[in-house]
Amino acid sequence: MGTGIAQVAATAGWEVVVADTNEGILEKSSASLVKVMNRLAEKGKYAQEEADKILGRINFTDDQQYFENSDLVIEAIVENLEIKKTVFAAVEKIVREDTLIASNTSSLSLASIGASLENPSRFVGIHFFNPAPLMPLVEIIPAVQTSEETTNQAKDWVDSWKKLTVLAKDTPGFIVNRVARPFYGESLRIYEEGIAEFATIDWAMKELGGFRMGPFELMDFIGNDINYTVTETVFQSFFYDPRYRPAFTQKRMSEAGYLGRKSGKGYYDYAEGAVKPEPVKDKEVGQQILDRVLALLINEAADALFFKIASREDIDLAMTKGVNYPKGLLKWADEIGLDWCVERLDKLYHEYHEDRYRCSPLLRRMLEKNQKFFG
């Protein structure tokens, strides 16, 4: 991720320093960038001269003193709060007093990270999506300590890098990783109940829902260990709210080392010659699967708006540009009707009697007033 962010900034004309204590990681990062830029030049994306200029703006070092005159420092290390705090405390002693310090964390508390700084007002979350050069969305997340000036400056800079920025409150998962949880969690629940197998659920979400990838294909692409850790972190951070409870299926897959594409096996087998299972293309069952997952996704988006995590525009933009959903979830709710959403959620709640399926108060209030999210 750090390598990708460096590429984005350098392409926008910034002088960039990539720092790591591990020389092997730095060598790998440098080689990767050279390979990527040469490939882009071969494809005609850039002239070779321009690609070389971009590479020339990126320096690699294991000496953090190179940060001394930086305008902006973005951390993109392991998702471990204590390690991040140690790194930030060290970086703050090196950089100028007006340097912006940011974290690319996807799930940790920014307030907690910021507390490691003597001046946390200049600290902010800048969350890129992987791969950073290709994914247009960046979440800008001020901590409670972050100054408005810092937030605005971070947003302006990332906007100038030709990214689409959204503002999010410092709550677990921010926008995307919070709202997207049912895409994985409810699909796993449907599988665990024996309603359908992986391939059928993926088929339903793609063929009938228009999603670019099915949930099990996407979890295999992301990595089951990473996806499970994010789910577990969000679940714990929301004080064990049942809506975010992880699935035993994914936990066992992670424990077994079935991490997806990177390990050669996950929900699907990626070994050479392996045959992918065929879905059961029953449209009635497929529609039931889609309806159940979509209702929970819309409910999560509505709750994000209800609790002022972000604006309605930013929530929909985040889901279409951050995880490539076919439509913004709030606009989707307007299209199919809020009555549809509330009825399906209430039906699930009455069937299971689990808070997992509780309807957002905002959906219920808007339905009573015959309102829409847009228009």
DSSP state of 208: I
Residues annotated as part of the active site: 106, 127, 139, 177
Orientation of helix 361-368 relative to helix 338-352, angle to 10°? 130
- Whether the CB-CB separation of 50 and 198 falls below 8 Å is answered with no
Beta strand pairing call for 123-128 and 137-142: antiparallel
Q: Supply the pLDDT for residue 84.
A: 96
Q: Supply the pLDDT for residue 329.
A: 98
Judging by beta carbons within 10 Å of its beta carbon (0-12, 13-18, 19+), is residue 350 exposed, middle or buried? Answer: exposed
- Whether the CB-CB separation of 72 and 6 falls below 8 Å is answered with no
Query: Which positions ≥6 away from 264 have C-beta within 8 Å?
Result: 270, 271
pLDDT < 50 stretches in the chain: none
Q: Supply the pLDDT for residue 107.
A: 82
d(CA 348, CA 359): 10
Distance of CA 76 to the CA centre of its chain: 14
Length of the chain: 375
Residue limits of CATH 1.10.1040.50 in the chain: 177-375
SS3 state of residue 248: helix
Render 282-315 in DSSP notation, one character per residue.
-HHHHHHHHHHHHHHHHHHHHHHHHTTSS-HHHH
Q: Supply the pLDDT for residue 167.
A: 98
> Which amino acid, 240?
Y
SS3 state of residue 326: coil
Structural tokens at position 281: 């293309």
> Which amino acid, 351?
E
Phi, psi of 327 (to 5 degrees): -145, 155
d(CA 168, CA 137): 12
Residue limits of CATH 3.40.50.720 in the chain: 2-176
Architecture of domain 177-375: Orthogonal Bundle (1.10)
Please state which CATH number belongs to domain 2-176: 3.40.50.720
pTM summary value: 0.95
Phi, psi of 115 (to 5 degrees): -65, -15
d(CA 322, CA 49): 31
Q: Supply the pLDDT for residue 67.
A: 87
